[in-house]
Amino acid sequence: MNFIELHNQNKPLLIANVWDAGSAIAAQQAGYQALGTSSAAIAATLGYEDGEAMSFDELFYFITRIKSVSNLPLSVDVESGFGGTAEEMMTHFKRLVQLGVVGINLEDSRVVNGIRQLDDAPAFASTLKEIRKTLNVENYQLFLNIRTDTYLLNHEQALQETLLRARLYEAAGADGLFVPCLTSEKDIATITKEINLPLNVMCMPHLPAFDRLEKLGVKRISMGNFVHSAIQSKLKDLMQIIHSQQTFAGVFVDESSR
């Protein structure tokens, strides 16, 4: 199945969010159908905060390494596009397509002076329309999974704002709708009923089980940076154990169970 077809299966597409070659290899060996990058995880790996603190060239290097070890379809989290205009963004997106990337996540918020805020919806939709037009004219195939941060930023009318933005983005050429921090079954059901785009939700503490998400009409499930964060937490604990106990015994605790 191609990447678009993976969004039309009976079961939701479970995306493995990776951040380097090693995590990509692990995901492929585990049997995942597709990979997505986590910008927050890659940024953390480089010592940056999330929100385009790293350069696109730094991100691109990580994508080249992931592509070098995995043949799974790869979607790249490009944050806010690493550019102020559709033309600037397209220079990056073309490089990704030429590398073999099949999709991107593009978000309708950006970090300004350390604070994340929603973009103006019509302005963002206009930029998206330009991107889609350029892709079509130049015959670039790229799945545009558009992320709206209405729930992530606790918009006071999150559901209504999500529906408004989703309709604008669909008309502008989006292929999918990503709503991080959306967990309400009622809201999920409303969005999948009202919007034609395949809905992507993300790992959260109170996210319904996968079989329930399938019944609610969800088509794609992401991990965000939570797997990376869990691994980093275990790494921190292990480093502390080695330092405090002055022994490497803790490194080999689980070796016998392998």
Which pLDDT score is estimated for 208?
A: 98
Give the mean pLDDT of the chain. Answer: 96
Residues 105/147, Cβ–Cβ less than 8 Å: yes
The torsion angles phi and psi of 82, rounded to 5 degrees, stand at 55, 40
* Cβ atoms 149, 79 nearer than 8 A: no
Q: What is the pLDDT of residue 254?
A: 66
Question: Which residue is associated with the tokens 């709503």?
Answer: 179
Cα(first)–Cα(last) distance of the chain, in Å?
33
Token pair for residue 26? 């692990």
Query: What CA–CA distance (Å, rounded) separates 237 from 241?
Result: 6
Higher pLDDT, 102 or 256: 102
Rounded Cα distance, 183 and 213, in Å: 10
Give the pLDDT confidence of 124-168 residue by residue, as tens digits: 999 999 999 999 999 999 999 999 999 999 999 999 999 999 999
- pLDDT tens digit sequence for 167-225: 999 999 999 999 999 999 999 999 999 999 999 999 999 999 999 999 999 999 999 99
Work out the average pLDDT over 77-95.
97
**Are 135 and 172 contacting, i.e. CB atoms less than 8 angstroms apart?**
no
Region of 212 on the Ramachandran plot (φ > 0 left; ψ -120 to 50 alpha; else beta): alpha
Share of the chain above pLDDT 70, in %: 98
Q: Which of 69, 24, 68, 15 is nearest to 42 (CA)?
A: 24
Cα–Cα distance measured from residue 44 to residue 208, given in angstroms and rounded to the nearest whole number: 28
| Degrees, nearest 5: CA angle 128-132-133 | 115
Which of these, 83, 82, 33, 41, lies nearest to 62 by C-alpha position? Answer: 41
Percent of the chain clearing pLDDT 90 (strictly above): 94
Q: Count of H helices and E strands in the chain?
A: 10, 11
Query: What residue has token string 């275990």?
Result: 234
